[in-house]
Structure 1
C-alpha cells in the first residue's frame, strides 16, 4: 500500500511517513533485516540500492549505493543505534564518498522505524530527525520526501514476492 500519511514538521525538523501493510509484523521487519529485500525497495524505483555491507545489530554498519538511470552512483551509510526486533529500528544515515565511508563534516539524519500491529495489519512509521535546519532544507530540496514516498511504495511488491 502506498504511504497513507506524510508529515513534514519544520519546527521539530522531522519528516514522518506512515504506511500500512497486509502482512504480519515479522514479514515487514524482514524488509529491513534482510539486505536482499532491502535492496528491492530502498531508494526510488529509478535509483535502486545495492548493499555491500549490512551488519544488522546495534552499532552495526551498513554501506550502500544507489544507481541512477545514467549509471551515476550515490553512496550512503548507516550506523544502527537500536534494534528491538520486530518493533523498532533506529539508525544514523548519511552520505558517503566513492569509498563508501561517511563524508567528513556531513551531518547524519537519525531514522526511527516503528512497527505496530493494528487491526490484523502492520503499520510502519518512519521518522527522519534532521540535525539542523540547513540539512533539513538541503535534503528537502534534493527531493527526499518524494524519494522516500516512492521507495516505501515498493514494499508491497517485496512482501508479496517473499
Structure 2
C-alpha cells in the first residue's frame, strides 16, 4: 500500500494524505496531467471516474463524474489555480449538479498536490482544506478520507503499466 499516512486536522480544517511510489516525479506527474490516467485511479475501485472536461492550465476547469455500483453518477468539478510541473498542482473542487454547475450547499474545498523526489522514488502529498468544520465533517462522513486512500492504492499498478513507455 503506497499510502504512508492520512491526517485530519480540525483546527487547520485540513485532510492530508501522504503516499510514496517507486517511480520518478515526472512519471507520477503524468497521472495528474493526463485525464485518461487520472480516470484510472481518481475514483475508489467501485466508483470509477470519467473526466468529460479537462483544461489543464491555471484558471482551467475539469468536470467529471463517478459511476457508483448502483449506476448513479455523482458529479464534481475542479478549477486549477496553480500548476508548476512536475512538483505542484493546486485546484478548488466541489460537487456539481447534472449540468456540471457548482452545488453551493456543499461548499468548495481546495487541494494542494506536492510531488517530492526521493532519489528516484516520489512522495506525493495531497492536502485538502475546507471552508468550515461542518463542511469537513460532512466530507469525512461521506467517505472522502477512505475514498482517497483507496484511490491512491490503485496508483502503483498504473505506474507499473507505463513504466517502460
* Number of corresponding residues: 162
Alignment of 1:9-158 (within 5 A): 9-158=9-158
SS in 2 for 1:119: coil
Unpaired runs of 5+ in structure 2?
A: none
* CA distance in structure 1 between the aligned counterparts of 2:50 and 2:88, rounded to whole angstroms: 23
Corresponding residue for residue 2 of structure 2:
2
1:3-40 Cα deviation digits (max 9, x unpaired) = 11111111111000111111011110000000000000
* CA distance in structure 2 between the aligned counterparts of 1:45 and 1:100, rounded to whole angstroms: 23
Shift of 1:102: 1.1
Quick check: 98-107 or 13-22, which moved more? 98-107
Unpaired runs of 5+ in structure 1?
A: none
Quick check: 101-110 or 64-73, which moved more? 101-110
* CA distance in structure 1 between the aligned counterparts of 2:106 and 2:74, rounded to whole angstroms: 14
1:74-131 Cα deviation digits (max 9, x unpaired) = 1000000000000000000100001112113431110000000013211000000011
Q: TM-score, normalised by structure 1?
A: 0.97
- Kindly report structure 1 stretches of 4+ aligned residues shifted beyond 2 Å: none
* CA distance in structure 1 between the aligned counterparts of 2:138 and 2:106, rounded to whole angstroms: 12
* CA distance in structure 1 between the aligned counterparts of 2:161 and 2:131, rounded to whole angstroms: 36
* CA distance in structure 2 between the aligned counterparts of 1:119 and 1:6, rounded to whole angstroms: 23
* CA distance in structure 1 between the aligned counterparts of 2:13 and 2:7, rounded to whole angstroms: 11
Q: TM-score, normalised by structure 2?
A: 0.95
* CA distance in structure 1 between the aligned counterparts of 2:34 and 2:141, rounded to whole angstroms: 30
Tell me whether 1:159 sits opposite 2:137 in the alignment: no
